[in-house]
Each structure stands twice: as structure tokens, then as C-alpha cells.
Amino acid sequence: MILVINAIPDASHLAALAERIAMLEWRDGRETAGSVAREVKRNEQAAMDSAPGRALQEELTRIVDDNTVVRAAAQPRRFSPLIVSRTGVDGKYGAHVDNALMGQGARRLRTDLSFTLFLTPPGEYDGGELVVHTAGMTQEVKGEAGYLVLYPSGSIHEVKPVTRGTRIVCVGWIESLVADPGQREMLFDLENLRTALRGQLPSQSAELLTLDKTIANLLRMWAHP
């Protein structure tokens, strides 16, 4: 399941984030890539270990975590530290698969879902499309600023070369309470159904109460806090 979500609809908020990102220090993106991905990664990453970087990371994590569609689709247990990446002309990130496990010690997590939050308007650069390859389908996305793409971490994906301008995005990974992608999709479908029915039925209707019970009991069966 690949979703495109409007995570930051406020243009003034995006402009404020861009000003803060412009003040950060940048490093070679290969420093955080795995041994295979390092060979195909050509971008820069913001240093998030400064006070401004940590504050930005906390805000971006909160934006993603508070999004109702992300929560319904991903069932987040925890997030990886986020990365803000910058890709200029001739930069790219060739086809690769994300590491199944990231972090060390208590911060180690299983990567169930990946996301890319676009922070640069698509008219400001050429190329730089996110391409996600799944069974029987390839999806290419060049999102509007503020839009987030959520996709399976186990998929092969890539970022096409940038041929004009600069592409800035935030990327991160989610460990889900529900490891099985098929189960997550069923819960997402049921949550969407519940949202639709709430606009049509009384909150105490037998149909909604039964749906509430079903979603809660499926979470009891499948979730691993």
C-alpha cells in the first residue's frame, strides 16, 4: 500500500520550516547509508545533532505522528530519527532497499514503513521523482510541498537524478504495532469505513458499535506494543 497524504497544508508553516532548514549544516549523505546503498547515494543531509536540528526533528516527527491518516495506515509504535536531505543537480539515490533494522540498543527498530515528506515545491527542480517498485507495479511520485508519501520499507525504491534546482525532503521510518502489512491494510480499510459511517449513523447505532468492537478486537489480536 502506497499513500500520498497532505501532511502540511499551511503554506506559511512550510515557509517557516524552509527558513529553519536553510540555517542547518549539511553533510555527505553517504555517512548514514548502508554498505550497498552507499554506492548509489548522492545527496546531502542536514546535521540534526545541533539544537536547531533537534528542535526541527521533534517538530517534524510530531507533524507526521499527529496525522490521522498516517496513524490509521501505519499504526505507529515508534519512529526512527528523521533525516532532512538535499539533492542538487546530478544528485540521486539509486535503486535500493532500506535496512530491515535500524539504530542501536534501546533505539533499535524494525522498519515496516518508510516515508518521504516533500519540502520543496516541484516547480523548483527537475527530476528527483521518488520511484517505488512493488509486485506488479511501479509508482512514481513528485509531491507538492507538504505532501508525504508512505510506502513499504521492503520495496525497492529510488530517487531519480535531479537535473535542475534543489530537492529537499524529510525521510523517516516507522515500526508499526502491527507487523503484517495485510493486517494493517484491513485495519486501515475498517477505519475509513468507520469514518464514513460516523457521518451517516448515530454514534450509538448497532452498526457503529459492532465496527468499534471489531477494530478493537483485531488490534488486540494483532498489535505488539
pLDDT in tens, 52-94: 999 999 999 999 999 999 999 999 999 999 999 999 999 999 9
pLDDT value of residue 34: 62
Rounded CA gap, 209 and 223, in Å? 21
Q: Do residues 150 and 71 make contact, with C-beta atoms less than 8 angstroms apart?
A: no
pLDDT value of residue 208: 97
Which residue's C-alpha cell is 510541498? 145
DSSP 8-state symbol, 136: T
Q: What single letter denotes the amino acid at residue 61?
A: T
- The mean pLDDT of the chain is 95
8-52 per-position pLDDT tens digit: 999 999 999 999 999 999 998 777 666 666 778 899 999 999 999
Task: Encode 198-225 in three state secondary structure.
Answer: HCCCCCCCHHHHHHHHHHHHHHHHHCCC
Q: How much is the average pLDDT of 189-217? A: 97
pTM value? 0.93
Rounded CA gap, 94 and 213, in Å? 45
pLDDT value of residue 37: 67
Q: By three-state DSSP, how is residue 31 classified?
A: helix
Q: How much is the average pLDDT of 123-139? A: 94
pLDDT value of residue 7: 98
> Domain boundaries in the chain?
3-176, 181-222
The H or E element spanning position 68 is helix 68-74
Rounded CA gap, 26 and 86, in Å? 8
Q: Is residue 199 pLDDT above 80, yes or no?
A: yes
Q: Give the three cell numbers for residue 215.
A: 477494530
**CATH architecture of residue range(s) 3-176:** Sandwich (2.60)
The H or E element spanning position 193 is helix 181-198
Give the distance, in angstroms, between the CA of residue 145 and the centroid of all CA atoms in the same chain: 14
Q: How much is the average pLDDT of 193-215? A: 96
Rounded CA gap, 197 and 187, in Å? 15
Q: How much is the average pLDDT of 168-195? A: 98
Q: Is residue 183 pLDDT above 70, yes or no?
A: yes
